[in-house]
Structure 1
Amino acid sequence: MVRRPVLAAGCVPVIVALALAAVPARADRPGGVVPAPAAAPAAPAAPAAVTTVTAAAVKPPPGMLEAIEQDLNMSREEAETRLINENRLLAVAARLKEKLGVRFGGAWLRTKTAHTLVVASTSAADIPQIIVEGAQAEVVPRSLTQLIAIRKKLDATLPPDPLISGVRYVDVKRNKVTVLATAPQRVGVFVQKSGVDRTAVTVLPSVEVPLPLSAPSYELVGGAAYYVGPVNRCSVGFSVTKGAQAGFVSSGHCGRKGDVTTGFNRVVQGVFQASAFPGSDHAWITVNESWKTVPAVESGAGSTVAVSGARPAVEGASICQSGSTTDWQCGRVQQLNASVTYPQGVVSDLTRTSICAEPGDSGGPIISIDQAQGVTSGGSGDCASGGTTYFQPITEILTTYGLTLKTTGDDMPSGASRACTGYPRQVTGTLIKGQDDYQPAEPYRSAVAGLHVGCVDGPEDADFDLYLEKWTGLKWLAVAPGDGVTSDEMVSHQGTPGSYRYRITATTGSGPYVLGFTTP
């Protein structure tokens, strides 16, 4: 493999000045960057604006840090640092992808704590703007668009047999398309006949044999089981809407248009409105009035993770899956833009991950912190020996069916606002800096599972945080944090029956507050 020099962004003003003198790569150094010739350095560029990101800027949902520690073999400090870095660098990656356009060659994270973002371009002229954004620059011969075109041509050429060439993906680190094959020599012949640039393809021996993860066997929360027929079990993905219709997305191989679903409790639930498999692997299902959609996914031990958006993760990012078989599992994004060959045919534009999954997890949600990523399609291996999982990105599903992802804030009561008016229950109080208050005066008990929504409005110059807590039988446990940097916070939680209360904390500032909330 050709080793390509990488330009670091450790000291932005100095490196920007040097990068401006870079010259195009020579033919004898493919994919490389020729250092600037020895000459008087250019005048230093103006320092780039730097946004300081602290631990308070990233508030992972309950249970996520613990799962990342365990599944990615990290300390608590490493897991916290990783999420802080990812939150900052994924925004950088999105900006650079838009700026570079057709020259964009991909992006990936490096180091255990995702400290470094590498962004590739087909033009050395893009090096300065990549470095100014705080990323490392790498010059590559092929753009991401070109690599995807090569992968699509291979999809149409290679035999549709998972036992021969089960997986193909764009490997942006190598700037190639990789084919994982149980019969690499045979696959090599097909690659040669396909007419693609052979130097842009790597065929590797592999034991991955993709299979869909469906299995024989009144709140709608991602990761919960649902059934198609008497024994077919899959997992709920993300809650969505289409006009006045509410429902959820899941895997296409779980059912076909017109199929009726029942929920985890075997109560009639919904109907498949559309489904695609193979080619793609996605579906959307409308639900009846007995089921209420919520922007949340199960994260184990009765907890849920709120869904706030759908910002795509890049290669190397940590992500987690909720499924009705394996519950809550975490891993990393390995490659984007992958194709896999199932026994039923090829599915393209999937994301390949190190998450383990098992039959029954199909359709379950994949999430990065609080950002929806996609629904589980299939996998290879299992959670006992380790495995690989592929998911269908959420953006394609939403676009294909004209759906809107349900996110936090959608379930606020009619007339409610950030000023916390319009809630059926309201209480008031006063806090001084460093003080906690608990509301209502007597904790309330919810006899049924359902959605809890709370909102606190404090003084404009203060930072008041809001936490929904549940009694475990031994202690009060925070199940939904709202700890941003303003005096107005909102939390939502899909909860099980039990006793609840709100804790309001004056992190900075003092003064009166209003708490509005709803109960199931």
Structure 2
Amino acid sequence: MRRTRLTHAALAVLLTIGAGFAAGTAPATASAASSDGARPAKAPASAGLLTALRHDLHLTKAQAERRLAAEQRATATEPKARKAAGSSLGGTWYDAGAGTLTVGLTPDAPQATVRAVRATGADVRTVAHTARELTATQARLDKLNAPAGVASWHVDPRASTVVVNVVAGEKADNDVRRFVERAHRAGPVTVRHVTTAPRTFAAGTVGGDPFYTGNVRCSIGFSVYGGFITAGHCDQHTGAVYGWDRSYIGNFQGSSFPDNDYAWVNVGSGWWTVPVVLGWGTVSDQLVRGSNVAPVGSSVCRSGSTTHWHCGTVLAMNETVNYSQGAVHQMTKTSVCAEPGDSGGSFISGDQAQGVTSGGWGNCSSGGETWFQPVNEILNRYGLTLHTA
């Protein structure tokens, strides 16, 4: 059922694991797929992956290798550092320049807390507000009815503020001005201007592969046992889902959009699931070995059926994105480009699944930003288990 181009990593997995892909095989536990400690990647820096990072992040080969290794360390350190920070936590992010995880602590943090955080290997920076204060501010904004001229809002732990992104051409709009005034009353808020409003990337089970439903083409996110996950806005409520070759795959078993942007599709009729994300010839097909969350500042790559493979960095987490169809919450913003048809496709950091493509602005010729819905939220919502190698 799979295309012949799915040969490199995918075929290797089929040959080495064989019947492990068959329906009914006992899956790895969900807790193992999302445990606090990142499992070391066996091959985190294939030649193709390094080439993509070098191109999109303007790095040398040595810089790309060092960055991947440092990001793995930061991802493993983050849960321990957050626990050590306790109530003084202001947020965490990856500092690409220093190659370390940075933890924001409020000025009143006890010295014992500072020492405990540093003992995890993280750097410390003083910030004005706690993560709890910033999260509460964002939650207040989530209850407001945002006009179309407000693109999104998210917590920026480095600046210790909630950033509200307003479309520059709409900043004088009365509804936008009222929203901004109410936002400032909600807590520490900073307004920034963006060039355009976000849109979803839907057009007209391997991550990045196309699928069709109704008159829409989207992209597969990640294989789970029994099916695959993708973007909720791809569900046209027509029932049947068809694969790249237009043969029947299955049906949407659950979806949510707006408020969330996730869905899952069952797989049958001769289709099967594999823990692979397509590299589209830019990189070798990537094996999926878990879903540990990469911190803000980490590199991340996306696979989709329109623009294939592109990389960038994680810019923000837990951002609320105000699409024309309604707000979507708890999204992760990236500097990766995308275009219509890429919706639902895979975001992956090293060999760790991050999320499914939702929408953004711009394109892959002039650049842009793209949001994804985090994978672990989808797995938890539907009680699914990620198919890992």
2:144 matches 1:157: yes
How well do the aligned residues superpose, as a CA RMSD in angstroms? Answer: 2.0
Of 175, 192, 200, the match for 2:181: 192
Deviation at 1:92, TM superposition (A): 1.1
2:68 matches 1:83: yes
Matched-pair contact (CA < 8 Å) for 1:226–1:263: yes
Partner residue in 1 for 2:16 = none
2:147 matches 1:166: no
Deviation at 1:59, TM superposition (A): 3.0
Deviation at 1:102, TM superposition (A): 4.0
Matched-pair contact (CA < 8 Å) for 2:222–2:346: yes
Matched-pair contact (CA < 8 Å) for 1:158–1:191: no
Determine the C-alpha separation between the residues in 2 that align with 1:247 and 1:227. Answer: 15
Kindly provide the CA deviation profile for residues 157-180 of structure 1, in whole angstroms up to 9, marking residues without a partner as x.
24242xx10111111111100011
**Unmatched 5+ residue regions in structure 2?**
1-39
2:90 matches 1:105: yes
Kindly provide the CA deviation profile for residues 341-381 of structure 1, in whole angstroms up to 9, marking residues without a partner as x.
11100001000000000000000010000000000000100
Quick one: which amino acid aligns to residue 117 of structure 2? I
Deviation at 1:106, TM superposition (A): 1.2
Partner residue in 2 for 1:517 = none
Determine the C-alpha separation between the residues in 1 that align with 2:371 and 2:329. Answer: 10
Matched-pair contact (CA < 8 Å) for 1:130–1:137: yes
Of 228, 235, 238, the match for 2:219: 235
Partner residue in 1 for 2:256 = 276
Determine the C-alpha separation between the residues in 1 that align with 2:96 and 2:345. Answer: 28
Determine the C-alpha separation between the residues in 1 that align with 2:45 and 2:147. Answer: 41
**Which secondary structure state, in structure 1, belongs to the residue aligned with residue 293 of structure 2?**
coil
**For residues 18-167 of structure 1, what are the structure 2 equivalents within 5 Å?**
59-112=44-97, 115-122=99-106, 123-125=108-110, 126-161=113-148, 164-167=149-152
- Structure 1 or 2: more strand by fraction: 1
Of 156, 161, 168, the match for 1:176: 161
Of 274, 278, 281, the match for 1:298: 278
Quick one: which amino acid aligns to residue 277 of structure 1? F
Determine the C-alpha separation between the residues in 2 that align with 1:310 and 1:111. Answer: 21
Deviation at 1:286, TM superposition (A): 0.3
2:362 matches 1:381: yes
Deviation at 1:208, TM superposition (A): 3.1
Instruction: Identify if the C-alpha distance between structure 1 residues 101 and 401 changes in structure 2 by more than 3 Å, giving closer, same or farther.
Output: farther
Instruction: Identify if the C-alpha distance between structure 1 residues 56 and 210 changes in structure 2 by more than 3 Å, giving closer, same or farther.
Output: closer
TM score, norm. by length of structure 1:
0.63
Bigger-Rg structure (1/2): 1
Calculate percent identity across the aligned residue pairs: 41
Quick one: which amino acid aligns to residue 136 of structure 2? A
Determine the C-alpha separation between the residues in 1 that align with 2:87 and 2:279. Answer: 38
Of 335, 346, 350, the match for 1:365: 346
Partner residue in 2 for 1:395 = 376
Determine the C-alpha separation between the residues in 2 that align with 1:101 and 1:227. Answer: 46
Instruction: Identify if the C-alpha distance between structure 1 residues 88 and 194 changes in structure 2 by more than 3 Å, giving closer, same or farther.
Output: closer
- Structure 1 or 2: more helix by fraction: 2
Quick one: which amino acid aligns to residue 237 of structure 1? G
Deviation at 1:135, TM superposition (A): 1.7
Instruction: Identify if the C-alpha distance between structure 1 residues 77 and 195 changes in structure 2 by more than 3 Å, giving closer, same or farther.
Output: closer
Matched-pair contact (CA < 8 Å) for 2:74–2:295: no
Quick one: which amino acid aligns to residue 220 of structure 2? V
Count of aligned pairs between the two proteins: 342
Determine the C-alpha separation between the residues in 2 that align with 1:56 and 1:90. Answer: 12
Matched-pair contact (CA < 8 Å) for 1:62–1:304: no
Q: Which has the higher contact order (CA 8 A, sep 6+)?
A: 2
2:239 matches 1:259: yes
TM score, norm. by length of structure 2:
0.84
Matched-pair contact (CA < 8 Å) for 2:183–2:189: no
Quick one: which amino acid aligns to residue 273 of structure 2? T
**Unmatched 5+ residue regions in structure 1?**
1-54, 409-520
**Which secondary structure state, in structure 2, belongs to the residue aligned with residue 166 of structure 1?**
strand
Matched-pair contact (CA < 8 Å) for 1:179–1:201: yes
Determine the C-alpha separation between the residues in 2 that align with 1:67 and 1:110. Answer: 20
Matched-pair contact (CA < 8 Å) for 2:166–2:192: yes
Instruction: Identify if the C-alpha distance between structure 1 residues 65 and 266 changes in structure 2 by more than 3 Å, giving closer, same or farther.
Output: same
